[in-house]
């Protein structure tokens, strides 16, 4: 929706958060003319319209999750995210539609059967940072990750980067992550390697919760340094230090696997993964295509009332953006 200026942030959207938020919400209800549930799709459309209106993005990308039970992490550990369920036929249809609608609204949209949305976001963020030049005014200086997922906090590299929980309109910067977890953003994979993450079925080291994981990392810095200094761990002035060193030694493989599962991939060198070679020019946000939008709404059997509402909102966005200076 305009040219790039260095002051414009790069927005990286974690689509699943907003799709499933709508899918499970009692307040988002939408049924097609064929009596099919479209709540997840309708909610995601409303999110995109609100995001375009509020953020007025110049460069952005949407990352979708399609690797549940088939991604590389599941190959490493069959228990990983075993608390999730595969989508049924109706939800699968809506997930595919969510990918399409992002493109119709002008976003670059990416997905993979091997890597998660977190990895797509991490790889794009890394590529844009690595190709940026301090002397080039056409490079974004800030990365805003649109998600409430704490795992993505490890990607906050500069003090200006943030996690934006769009629904709550709350931004968390590196300083907030350190206040919340007691470790820096880059230490989060090691932190989860020790403490585990029940939400993703990452076990961590038995008996080491968030408090002890934070104490260990504040003293030694990394998981590797902890294991290089188990004798020093046993001498720490914390309760059960001697037993703690033994537990760590006995569960080293588990700790290292847990860290690997929690670490977001930031470099994908696979020619089959088209998000692995992204440049800033690929991430321009284009004007929504109203003709494609109308056809899409017909194809998915939205009611005339909801179709008119969505098209009118998109048309208003185009009208509003056409008068903006860039």
Q: Are residues 211 and 304 in the same domain?
A: no
Q: Are residues 75 and 158 in the same domain?
A: yes
Q: Has residue 263 got a pLDDT over 60?
A: yes
Q: Are residues 105 and 27 in the same domain?
A: yes
CATH of residue 77's domain is 3.40.50.1010
- b/e map 133-155, b = 16+ CB within 10 Å: eeeeeebbeebbbbbbbbbbbbb
- What's the CA gap between 26 and 243, in Å, rounded? 48
Q: Which 3-state string (H, E, C) describes 88-101?
A: CHHHHHHHHHHHHH
- What's the CA gap between 196 and 190, in Å, rounded? 9
pLDDT score at 324: 56
264-269: which pairs have CB atoms within 8 A and are 24 or more residues apart? 264/118, 264/119, 264/121, 264/122, 264/151, 264/152, 264/154, 264/155, 264/189, 265/115, 265/119, 265/122, 265/123, 266/119, 266/122, 266/123, 266/125, 266/126, 266/155, 267/123, 267/126, 268/115, 268/119, 268/123
Q: Are residues 144 and 287 in the same domain?
A: yes
Q: Is residue 64 part of a domain?
A: yes
pTM for this prediction:
0.93
Q: Are residues 15 and 108 in the same domain?
A: yes
pLDDT score at 321: 84
Q: Are residues 276 and 192 in the same domain?
A: no
Q: Has residue 135 got a pLDDT over 80?
A: no
Q: Are residues 171 and 301 in the same domain?
A: yes
pLDDT score at 69: 83
Q: Are residues 306 and 196 in the same domain?
A: no
CATH of residue 205's domain is 1.10.150.20
Q: Has residue 253 got a pLDDT over 70?
A: yes
Q: Residues 188-200: what's their mean pLDDT?
A: 97
> Number of C-alpha atoms within 13 angstroms, CB side, residue 131?
13
Q: Are residues 299 and 151 in the same domain?
A: yes
pLDDT score at 4: 47
Q: Domain end: 233, 262, 291, which one? A: 262
Please count the structural domains in the chain.
Answer: 2
Q: Are residues 127 and 147 in the same domain?
A: yes
Instruction: Please write the tens of the pLDDT for every residue from 46-66.
Output: 999 999 999 999 999 999 999
Q: Domain end: 246, 262, 278, which one? A: 262
Q: Are residues 280 and 237 in the same domain?
A: no
pLDDT tier at 2, thresholds 50, 70, 90? very low
pLDDT score at 235: 94
Q: Is residue 279 part of a domain?
A: yes
Domain housing 82? 10-177+265-322
Q: Are residues 163 and 280 in the same domain?
A: yes
Instruction: Please write the tens of the pLDDT for every residue from 83-106.
Output: 999 999 999 999 999 999 999 999
Q: Is 284 helix (H, G, I), strand (E, B) or coil?
A: strand
Q: Is residue 1 part of a domain?
A: no
């Amino acid at each position: 929706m305009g040219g790039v200026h260095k002051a414009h942030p790069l927005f990286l959207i974690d689509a699943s958060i907003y799709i499933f938020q709508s899918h499970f919400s009692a307040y988002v209800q939408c049924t097609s003319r064929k009596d099919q549930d479209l709540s997840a799709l309708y909610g995601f459309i409303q999110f995109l319209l609100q995001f375009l209106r509020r953020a007025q993005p110049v460069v952005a990308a949407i990352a979708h999750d399609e690797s549940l039970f088939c991604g590389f992490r599941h190959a490493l550990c069959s228990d990983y995210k075993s608390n999730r369920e595969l989508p049924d036929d109706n939800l699968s249809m809506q997930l595919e539609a969510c990918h399409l609608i992002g493109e119709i609204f002008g976003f670059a949209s990416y997905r993979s059967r091997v890597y998660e949305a977190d990895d797509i976001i991490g790889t794009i963020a890394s590529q844009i940072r690595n190709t940026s030049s301090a002397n080039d005014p056409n490079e974004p200086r800030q990365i805003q990750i649109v998600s409430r997922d704490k795992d993505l906090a490890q990607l906050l590299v500069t003090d200006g980067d943030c996690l934006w929980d769009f629904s709550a309109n709350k931004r968390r910067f590196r300083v907030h992550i350190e206040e919340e977890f007691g470790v820096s953003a880059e230490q989060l994979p090691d932190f989860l390697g020790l403490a585990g993450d029940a939400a993703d079925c990452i076990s961590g080291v038995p008996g080491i919760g968030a408090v002890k994981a934070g104490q260990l990392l504040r003293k030694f810095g990394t998981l590797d340094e902890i294991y290089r200094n188990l004798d020093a761990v046993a001498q720490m002035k914390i309760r059960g230090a001697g037993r703690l060193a033994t537990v760590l030694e006995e569960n080293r493989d588990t700790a290292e696997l847990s860290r690997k599962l929690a670490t977001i991939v930031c470099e994908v060198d696979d020619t089959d993964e088209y998000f692995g070679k992204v440049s800033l020019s690929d991430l321009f946000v284009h004007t929504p295509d109203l003709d494609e939008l109308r056809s899409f709404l017909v194809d998915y059997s939205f009611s005339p009332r909801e179709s008119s509402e969505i098209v009118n909102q998109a048309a208003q966005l185009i009208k509003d953006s056409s008068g903006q200076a860039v």
